[in-house]
Amino acid sequence: MDTIVSVNNLEKSYQSKKAVAGISFSIQKGEILGLLGPNGAGKSTTINILATVLSPDNGEVQILGYDLIREAKSIKKRIGIVPQDIAIFEEITAEQNVRFFVGLYGFKGSKLNELVQEALDLVGLYDKKDDKPKTFSGGMKRRLNIACAIAHRPKLIIMDEPTVGIDPQSRNHILESIKVLRQRGATIIYSTHYMEEVETISDRIMIMNEGRIIAVGKKEELIQNIRNEITYTFEIDSSNQLDERQISQIVGVTNVQLYGKDLTITSKKSKDTLNGIVSTLLDNGCSFEKMTSKEASLETVFLDLTGRRLRD
């Protein structure tokens, strides 16, 4: 299998803060790599470096066989970036937007027309091609944002949270489009805050935290590592009286998170911790209306590895 992206010991700092702290990974042809991490994990910095808009401090990066520093122009011709922000022109039509961005790659004439139509078709906006994005919904703008990035048929597509704040219909459309792109031979890096999206489309998942890669592998492999854990979630009615440290001290409990009324506790399966947890809650004057238990999932993997929820 061909290696499309090869990153070795990549570093980037902003003043004294290390945004990316010596990460190494590779991506194979036709793969969809899901990139997960809380805010400040270093995802966007990594993506900006791969997108050639940010220079690394250290490390080697090869994309499609080209060196990131010496052969940036060759890389730029062959990759497509879907930015986190909706980076389109509101005052010109959808078709003019796609035409402009494809035109930057040197396409002209009938080939240009063909690529514009193909991209608008893929994201389901061809019938809206003459409308201006300022009349579009958030989801339609996101879809146009993608069309502008993929119209020149890039071999590597980097998507930085392409579905933020959109309706389920548009999200499904985007996820389906990504699958089609993969079928057409594209390799995709997909950064998101939505765990279910990563689970749905990714071949492999890479989790970043504080500038480092803390886990990488297939979903099943990641879950396997914490299969012997169980997560309890309580909806408690009075959080201010609860001392989380008391629960942490129960033998078998590995993680305690309290968000408003939601108390999430991860515990070793082998230990019978539930009695101790419930007693501690009641002793602290916390009654609860609802309790759920969940076997290991990607969400719990993330929580276990980072100590934080994905959207923190």
Partner 1 sequence: MLNLIRNRFLRIPDKMHIMIIAVVVMPLFIGAAIFFSGHFTNVYKVAFISDHAISFPKSKSIQIDKINERPATSSLAMGKYNAFVEVNKDGEFKVTTLKGESDKKAIQTFFEGGKLPENNKTEQRGIGTNILGFVLMLALMQGVALTTFYPEDRNNSTFKRILTSPVNSRQYLAAQGIFTFICLYVPTFIAIAITKICFGVEIGFGLGNLAVLLVILASLATAFSLFMASIMDRNISLGTSGISIITCILAGCFFNFTGNIKVLDVLCNILPQKAFMILIQAVENGRAFQEFAGQLTYTVTWVFALWLVGSVVTNRRIKKGVY
Nearer to partner 1, 28 or 93 (CB): 93
Residues 10, 150: Cα–Cα separation, whole Å: 26
Question: 3-class SS at 81?
Answer: strand
Residues 24, 274: Cα–Cα separation, whole Å: 40
CB of 18 to partner 1, least distance (A): 14
CB of 159 to partner 1, least distance (A): 13
CA distances from 64 to 3, 6, 26, 183, 224 (A): 7, 9, 11, 18, 32
Nearer to partner 1, 71 or 299 (CB): 71
CB of 15 to partner 1, least distance (A): 10
The count of other CB atoms within 10 Å of the CB of residue 180 is 11
Nearer to partner 1, 104 or 251 (CB): 104
CB of 91 to partner 1, least distance (A): 4
What tokens appear for 8 in the block? 């070795």
Nearer to partner 1, 149 or 298 (CB): 149
Nearer to partner 1, 79 or 120 (CB): 79
For 184-209, b/e burial (b = at least 16 CB within 10 A) is eebbbbbbbbbbebbeebbbbbbbbb
CB of 141 to partner 1, least distance (A): 12
Residues 146, 175: Cα–Cα separation, whole Å: 11
Nearer to partner 1, 78 or 268 (CB): 78
CB of 83 to partner 1, least distance (A): 6
Q: Which residues bind partner 1 (CB under 8 A)?
A: 14, 45, 48, 51-55, 73, 76-77, 79, 81, 83, 85-89, 91-92, 96, 100-101, 103-106, 148
Please report which helix (H) or strand (E) contains residue 196, including its range: helix 195-201
